[in-house]
Amino acid sequence: MIIAKKIRLFPTSEQEILFRKSAGVARWAYNYFLGEQDRCYKEYLANNKEGKSYINEGEVRKRINNELKPTTHTWLKEVGSNVMKQAVKDADNAFKKYFKGLAEKPVFKKKNKDSMSFYVNYESLVRKNHGFHGEKIGYVKTAEQLPKLPKGQKYSNPRISFDGKYWYLSVGYEVSEKKEECSGVSLGIDLGVKSLAVCSDGKVYKNINKSKEVKRLKKKLKREQRSSSRMLLENTASYYKDNRGYNHPVWKKPLRECRNFQKQQKAIKLVNRRINGIRTKYLHQVTSEIVKTKPSRIVMEDLNVTGMMKNRHLSKVISEQKLYEFKRQVLYKSALRGIPVVEADRWFPSSKECSCCGNIKHNLKLKDRVYKCEVCGLVIDRDLNASINLSEYNLAHNQKQD
């Protein structure tokens, strides 16, 4: 299987300028393809649906290389040619996912909101001592060595990105699965909001968002955002209404000239970066600890996170838990060790079913945190009861089918 590795970079001032130029070219090429696609589709509708409704990404790249690059867009020559090429392919892939119903319609990237990233040619990427050598980039120092690959093998999809503070290189490489001796225990995991995860062996992993440090950072984030809103209010001269009746502010001067506002936006990004780093690190610690127990299999619920986010009372808390990221990490870490992961049916009553006698309590509510069975008298924590039922999911499911 292919796994990814993210390594921090230490570029020089000249290399950092080149990185920013490359990220700008990638953003421009992505937006250019979206604009050409919109123009092509409008012409298709104007001609009574005659002709083609979708433009080929090869045509767009040829137009850029033959018409724009030699004349008006000579600044494209300052970066590697594969930066523009891959950005157009990314936009084309985004549209294809949208047509298949796998993602939403792609939108234009904005300079100050979207993160900066660009593609590095995998053929010219060479591993060096304490760094690497890239196309038109030269030698770049890294915080750690790039993974060593067998002879003839190349890194897949290498990209350089900026998170608001540091530059990183992410590369993919192929590794072989290592099957380890399992303990023979089926481990059920119940994900939730009160606690991140409750395992069937009794292990409870707390909600990191309730920790003192995260609460402090969230208060700081509120202060920084309030200060940013105050700056916008002071810069507002008046409002005007559009055709649909929405109010739009009229700025006294453009936001790009408001240096203090730009500094404030950077401060907000850094606080968000810190909070996200704490959450992601905690997920890696929890998932690694779970997988290292070497269970014979792991059973989790097939959660409808998109549907859960529609609950306006719990949407913010659910998004902070990063449940999908937890599931993704468990899947790939288990696959590396040869541990099968089973997803229980979405309608399996793991919380309502008694783990002792199998009775189903239909009137169980979300506020009932302790499960009390009316048949056998079992009194147990609600989440622990659900995790035990998940650990026995296949056995119970087969018995019901028989």
Please write the tens of the pLDDT for every residue from 296-327.
Answer: 999 999 888 888 888 888 899 999 999 999 99
Residue 240 φ/ψ region, left for φ over 0, alpha for ψ in the -120 to 50 degree band, beta for the rest? beta
| Same structural domain, 85 and 218 | no
Read off the pLDDT of residues 123-177 as tens digits, 9 standing for 90 and up. 999 999 999 999 899 999 999 999 999 888 899 999 999 999 999 999 999 988 8
| Same structural domain, 143 and 67 | yes
Read off the pLDDT of residues 360-400 as tens digits, 9 standing for 90 and up. 988 888 888 899 998 888 899 999 999 999 998 875 454 44
**Against a cut of 0.75, is the pTM above it?**
yes
| Same structural domain, 18 and 147 | yes
| Same structural domain, 165 and 254 | no
How many domains does one find in the chain? 3
Q: Which of 256, 284, 312 is the last residue in one of the domains?
A: 284
Q: Alpha-carbon distance 198 to 187, whole Å?
A: 10
The DSSP annotation for 105-166 comes to PP----TTTSPEEEE--TTT-EEETTEEEETTTEEEEESSPPPP--TT---EEEEEEE-SS-
| Same structural domain, 26 and 128 | yes
* In a domain? residue 181: no
Answer yes or no: are the C-beta atoms of 270 and 165 closer than 8 Å: yes
| Same structural domain, 363 and 385 | yes
Read off the pLDDT of residues 60-71 as tens digits, 9 standing for 90 and up. 999 999 999 999
- Number of Cβ within 10 Å of residue 132's Cβ equals 24
| Same structural domain, 37 and 151 | yes
* In a domain? residue 180: no
| Same structural domain, 123 and 153 | yes
Q: Alpha-carbon distance 15 to 243, whole Å?
A: 46
Buried b (16+ CB within 10 A) or exposed e, 257-276: ebeebeebbebbbebbebbe
* In a domain? residue 357: yes
* In a domain? residue 316: yes
Answer yes or no: are the C-beta atoms of 125 and 41 closer than 8 Å: no
| Same structural domain, 21 and 73 | yes
Classify burial at 244, counting beta carbons within 10 Å of its beta carbon; exposed 0-12, middle 13-18, buried 19 or more. exposed
Q: Which two tokens stand for residue 306?
A: 């998109």
* In a domain? residue 289: no
| Same structural domain, 254 and 384 | no
* In a domain? residue 222: yes
Q: For residue 44, give its domain range.
A: 2-174
| Same structural domain, 112 and 28 | yes
| Same structural domain, 192 and 54 | no
Read off the pLDDT of residues 89-134 as tens digits, 9 standing for 90 and up. 999 999 999 999 999 999 999 988 888 999 999 999 999 999 999 9
Residue type at 43 in one-letter notation: E
